[in-house]
Amino acid sequence: MKLNVTKAIICTVIALLAALALWQIPGADSCKWCVATGGGVLTLVTLLFGIGIKYNSSNVGVNIRVLSLATLFIGISFNVIFALFDFSVITYIIVAALILMVYLLLLTNLTGIAKTEPDI
């Protein structure tokens, strides 16, 4: 795995813009800061692993990119729903953490496969 610095910077800017867009959605003002921060972090993590890193194994790299982009779309949809409607902050944190932890668990498994079996 190798980080592409230019793509990483672009991913960071996209994540900041996504957080700003989530902040501007009119709706639940009580957890606006939480949705913007959580959406920015989720966008940054999924874009970095999906676009910003070059993988040694092309097969595993494709699987990681598909997983990352699917999680990105799920996360953005989740954040927009929470931004539009008034949910509790605790509910948001629990669901956002579950989405991120399941993503990181699957990502760890995929990168572990790439390290143990480099021929696939």
Q: 7-26 pLDDT, tens per residue?
A: 999 999 999 999 999 888 88
> Using an 8 Å Cβ cutoff, are 54 and 4 in contact?
yes
- In terms of Cα–Cα distance, which of 97, 114, 84, 86 is closest to 37? 97
Structural domain span for residue 9: 2-116
Q: 54-107 pLDDT, tens per residue?
A: 888 888 889 999 999 999 999 999 999 888 887 888 999 999 999 999 999 999
Domain count, the chain: 1
Dist CA 109 CA 77 (whole Å):
25
Whole-prediction pTM value?
0.87
Q: How far is CA 90 from CA 44, 94, 95, in A?
A: 22, 6, 9
The values of phi and psi at residue 2, to 5°, are -140, 130
